[in-house]
Amino acid sequence: MIDTRLESALSRFEPDEFTRVKAIAESATLDLLKGRGAGSEWLGWRRIVRDPDRDLLGAVRKHAEQIRSESDLLVVCGIGGSYLGAKALVDLFPDKQEDGLQVRFAGYHIGGSALERLIREMETPRPDGEEKRIHINVISKSGSTLETALAFRVLRGWMEKKYGSEAKRRITVTTGPDGGVLNPMVHKLGYKRFVIPEDTGGRFSVLTPVGLLPVAAAGLDIEALFAGAESMAAELERPDIRILTYASARYLLHQAGVSIDVVGSFEPELESLTAWIQQLLGESEGKEGKGIFPVSAAWSTDLHSIGQMVQEGRRNVMETLLVVDQPISNLKVPTDPEDSDGLGYLDGLSFHQINRTALEGTVEAHSEGGVPVVQIHLDRLHEETAGELIYFYEFFTAVYVYMLELNPFDQPGVEGYKKAMYRRLKMEGDGKK
């Protein structure tokens, strides 16, 4: 179950302001539900959940089981929406990897040393002395995104050198239905392929094979994940007070001059999830001089770095906290009869209790310091709840961005850096010929 707590964010606005803006949120919700808003050709993320392809889910699960049975290490090669959602889900459940397949991510930067370290890990024998068995999943709709394409060229060469003609069985391609760079490789070399739907953008693609294959290979229950998304989709088929209130609060804060949203959690397992939300919001709302800049933070760690800025810096900051209500761990503070560290007052308390108290104290201090705080509560950490949250945030993002009179599903500004980068790289390459 997903719950929103917005008292801190809404307390600075008059009731009539909220009522006025809530009507805008209702209109934006209907635009989304009826498919009449900007970018409505990109609503595949709704279609796949409202009309699930059970055969595809089965095929993904079957291939993932094969990867798990034949591999020790899965390297997922992608960038942006082609890896952030999968990493968020894999990192939510680290225990799934303790005794099974390990998942690593590549192709999301241009760091040669990091790629070399990954290859050394691939080449390091297992504890029993046997060679590691490797599988590569490259994810790119076009196949030509520089970071991913470079990494895949290196990794593909390594796989072909190690496995020869058998490399094709250990490389899976997730790409667009046709065109691009990767489809000709699939046809020529015989790689297993999964298709990214044409009507689903990268940051909304986690519930397609883009995210489902890596997380299934990591041992997660993708049927439960999808069931959670389906359940949330059914709840949101009519205007929902959680969406209306959250979108209205963010819109009012945007209008009031808030320009930074610190998205964090006190649970380390959720750190990658905040990075997924950072992309989802950032690419969706940052257009035409509008938008609140999302930045991912890890609490309580970052309270000792940027906590001072949040508490007493410029008052252009809001905070979004992801909270898990049921304990993730049962670890308790042991008793020290001598109380040598002065922590005797915590004897017997669970880390969950201490963490929750730290969260509550932080919310109190930041709210009193003038920071509006939004809390998004998950009742428990489970694949089904994760599916609910993914769909909830996708839906919320679309509604809120429609309120800003923007297209939530394009990212025209991304092309700016690419054009300049490729122009310079071609000049660099031509100069060495």
Residues that are catalytic: 283, 304, 418
**What is the helix (H) or strand (E) element at residue 298, kind and residue range?**
strand 293-298
Q: Is residue 323 a contact partner of residue 359, using CB atoms and an 8 Å limit?
A: yes
Tell me the chain's radius of gyration from C-alpha atoms.
Answer: 23
Measured in whole angstroms, how far is the alpha carbon of residue 404 from the centre of its chain?
23
φ and ψ at 134, to 5 degrees?
A: -115, 145
Residue 192, SS3 per DSSP: strand
CA distance 68 to 62: 10
Q: Is residue 189 a contact partner of residue 154, using CB atoms and an 8 Å limit?
A: no
Burial level of 415, CB count in 10 A (0-12/13-18/19+)? exposed
Q: Is the dihedral of CA 261, 267, 271, 277 positive or negative?
A: negative
Closest CA to 7 of 257, 359, 372: 372
Q: Is residue 210 a contact partner of residue 82, using CB atoms and an 8 Å limit?
A: yes
CA distance 258 to 322: 19
Residue 224, SS3 per DSSP: helix
**Which amino acid makes up residue 141?**
K
Q: Is 164 left (phi over 0), alpha (psi -120 to 50) or beta?
A: left
Burial 128-149 (b: 16+ CB within 10 A, else e): eeeeebbbbbbbbbebebebbb
Record the tokens describing residue 148, joined without a space: 């991913």
Cis peptide before 300, with omega less than 30 degrees from 0? yes
Residue 239, SS3 per DSSP: coil
Q: Is the dihedral of CA 304, 305, 309, 310 positive or negative?
A: negative
